């Protein structure tokens, strides 16, 4: 699966004691995206015990689920009209009634609105308020022309009339710090106040390696009127108060009890039990590199959640690894085309940096001139993220507490016109160029893709 594939735009709903998630799993088909739409359910959202996927037929993405007052359930989604996404309009909003237990359609699938901008009309959600069915959609693509538009009808099947103030939210053509805003949800808190959670990109669009992030903003929604959404900002103040309550206050604690490593991320497939009892992490090296699009990769990562962040770890060194061809490192990773890393070769103890931007045919490798001392038992690695660049550094904790910078990489290299963000993680590779004399099964024809030597990491964290 390509890096920009996977699970698209989930919608979560609660009805009669059951939680529902509607989602699309996207992958490349023969001529176009393969879109597999499904529902999953649970009666206890804290249990981590969800139903098997309930598939339903829909030729598109961004499914939303709406329960009407009479108990009937409806799916709204972005129906693909064109095989070529460059043609406009490429999609429209269609709807059908669904049996949520089986995924079966209880009606025909009908178009209910083509949108205001009629360009990449996606991410629909229906809200019923004051006798109106309000239909919220995202339009204009996911970049500078992104927007939220709305229509309403007295009947769920329409016809839907467009809001006279459309788009109801956009940063297109505006001098705002938060740009590319759109694709959101409107929701109401326990006090009756309305809010919006929307996607956007902060700062310089050419230096936005974290891609799209989620922003919270306030909404005023008068009776029988259209919602007024405040422009998203990096921070704001409001006189509104929200009592979190016991359940919300326990959210993080309970989530951690369900899964203590909830924020761990993997590429291609999860690693088998990477954690040791002491809290250290042991990774078995693979010959595939960070540029591998589909091959197995020994990488454990976490999201970069702030422009200013630090990823750090300690690689344990073993004098018995003199003949190992294993490499342990730390990376800031966007996708197989764009990544930067700092690593240590267990055999030579040399520190390397490696930068890749395949979209611009750029690849760069450099080494620190002096290896880590043979008497040292570990080496610390860290990557410091800032608005302009990432600094890649190391230190020998047994000999010198000062950090040494090996190189820096501009954040532009990890920024692109896509919507996935950077992750920062530890990895283990097998150096194919090395020829350890006593490493078993090291020939290319052996059928083995891993060494017997594991790379052990300690104190991996991403802060900021």
Q: pLDDT tens, position by position, for the chain (464 residues)?
A: 676 788 999 999 999 999 999 999 998 877 777 899 999 999 988 777 899 999 999 999 999 999 999 999 999 999 998 766 667 678 999 999 999 999 999 999 999 999 999 999 999 999 999 999 999 999 999 999 999 999 999 999 999 999 999 999 999 999 999 999 999 999 999 889 999 999 999 988 889 999 999 999 999 999 999 999 999 999 999 999 876 666 666 776 776 676 778 789 998 788 888 998 778 999 999 888 999 888 888 999 999 999 999 999 999 998 776 668 899 999 999 999 999 999 999 999 999 999 999 989 999 999 999 999 999 999 999 999 999 999 999 999 999 889 999 999 999 999 988 878 999 999 999 986 655 444 433 333 333 444 457 899 999 999 98
Residues 248 and 286 placed together within one structural domain of the fold? no
In-domain check, residue 72: yes
In-domain check, residue 262: no
Taking the CB of residue 365, how many other CB atoms lie within 10 A of it?
11
In-domain check, residue 440: yes
Q: Which of 253, 271, 297 is the last residue of a domain?
A: 253
Strands 213-220, 404-410: pairing is unpaired
Residues 293 and 395 placed together within one structural domain of the fold? yes
Taking the CB of residue 426, how many other CB atoms lie within 10 A of it?
27
pLDDT at 268: 79
Helix then strand then coil, % of the chain, to nearest 5: 5, 45, 50
pLDDT at 443: 32
In-domain check, residue 195: yes
Residues 34 and 70 placed together within one structural domain of the fold? yes
In-domain check, residue 399: yes
Residues 192 and 288 placed together within one structural domain of the fold? no
Residues 291 and 401 placed together within one structural domain of the fold? yes
pLDDT at 90: 87
In-domain check, residue 105: yes
Q: Which of 216, 233, 253 is the last residue of a domain?
A: 253
In-domain check, residue 41: yes
Residues 309 and 421 placed together within one structural domain of the fold? yes
Residues 238 and 335 placed together within one structural domain of the fold? no
SS3 2: coil
Residues 218 and 288 placed together within one structural domain of the fold? no
Supply the CATH number for residue 405's domain: 2.60.120.200
Phi-psi region of 173 (alpha: psi -120 to 50; beta: other; left: phi over 0): left
Structural domains in the chain (count): 2
CA dist., res. 385 & res. 23, Å (int): 32
Q: Which residue range(s) make up the domain with 407?
A: 281-463
CA dist., res. 18 & res. 103, Å (int): 16
In-domain check, residue 192: yes
Residues 232 and 320 placed together within one structural domain of the fold? no
β-strand partners of 97:
74
pLDDT at 242: 74
CA dist., res. 414 & res. 383, Å (int): 14
Residues 376 and 425 placed together within one structural domain of the fold? yes
Supply the CATH number for residue 176's domain: 2.115.10.20
Residues 232 and 319 placed together within one structural domain of the fold? no
Of 123, 162, 126, 127, the closest CA to residue 140 belongs to 123
CA dist., res. 298 & res. 457, Å (int): 12
Residues 240 and 304 placed together within one structural domain of the fold? no
How would you label 44-73 residue by residue, b for 16+ Cβ within 10 Å and e otherwise? ebeeeeeeeebebebbbbbbbbbbeeeeeb
Q: Which of 205, 237, 253 is the last residue of a domain?
A: 253
């Amino acid at each position: 699966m390509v890096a920009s594939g996977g699970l698209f735009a989930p919608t979560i709903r609660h009805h009669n004691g059951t939680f529902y998630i509607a989602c699309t799993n996207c992958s490349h088909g023969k001529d176009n995206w393969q879109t597999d739409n499904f529902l999953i359910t649970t009666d206890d959202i804290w249990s981590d015990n969800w139903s098997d996927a309930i598939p339903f037929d829909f030729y598109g993405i961004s499914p939303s689920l709406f329960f009407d007052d009479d108990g009937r359930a409806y799916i709204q989604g972005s129906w693909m009209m064109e095989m070529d996404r460059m043609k406009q309009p490429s999609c429209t909003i269609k709807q059908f009634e669904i049996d949520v237990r089986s995924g079966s359609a209880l009606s025909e699938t009908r178009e209910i609105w083509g949108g205001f901008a009629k360009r990449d009309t996606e991410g629909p959600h229906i809200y019923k308020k004051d006798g109106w069915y309000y239909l919220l959609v995202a339009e204009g693509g996911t970049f500078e022309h992104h927007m939220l538009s709305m229509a309403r009808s007295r009947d769920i099947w329409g016809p839907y009339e467009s809001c006279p103030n459309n788009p109801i939210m956009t940063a297109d053509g505006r001098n705002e710090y938060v740009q590319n805003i759109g694709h959101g949800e409107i929701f109401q808190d326990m006090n009756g106040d309305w809010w919006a959670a929307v996607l956007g990109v902060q700062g310089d669009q050419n230096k936005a390696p974290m891609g799209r992030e989620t922003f919270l903003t306030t909404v005023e929604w008068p009776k029988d009127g259209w919602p007024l959404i405040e422009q998203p900002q990096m921070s704001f103040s409001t006189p509104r108060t929200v009592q979190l309550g016991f359940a919300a206050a326990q959210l993080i604690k309970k989530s951690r009890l369900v899964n203590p490593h909830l924020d761990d991320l993997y590429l291609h497939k999860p690693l088998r039990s990477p954690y040791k009892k002491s809290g250290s992490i042991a990774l078995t090296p693979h010959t595939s590199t960070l540029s591998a699009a589909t091959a197995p990769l020994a990488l454990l990562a976490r999201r970069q959640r702030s422009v200013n962040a630090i990823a750090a770890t300690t690689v344990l060194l073993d004098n018995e690894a003199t003949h190992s061809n294993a490499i342990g490192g730390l990376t800031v990773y966007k996708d197989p085309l764009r990544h930067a890393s700092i690593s240590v070769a267990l055999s030579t103890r040399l520190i390397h940096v490696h930068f890749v931007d395949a979209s611009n045919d750029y690849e760069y490798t450099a080494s620190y001139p002096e290896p880590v001392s043979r008497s040292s038992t570990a080496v610390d690695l860290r990557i410091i993220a800032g608005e302009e660049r990432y600094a890649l550094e190391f230190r020998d904790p047994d000999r010198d507490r000062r950090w040494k910078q090996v190189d820096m990489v501009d954040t532009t290299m990890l920024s692109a016109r896509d919507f996935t963000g950077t992750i920062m993680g530890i990895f283990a590779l097998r150096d194919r160029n090395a020829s350890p004399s006593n490493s078993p099964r090291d020939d290319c024809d052996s059928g083995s893709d891993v060494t017997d030597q594991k790379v052990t990491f300690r104190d991996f964290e991403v802060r900021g």
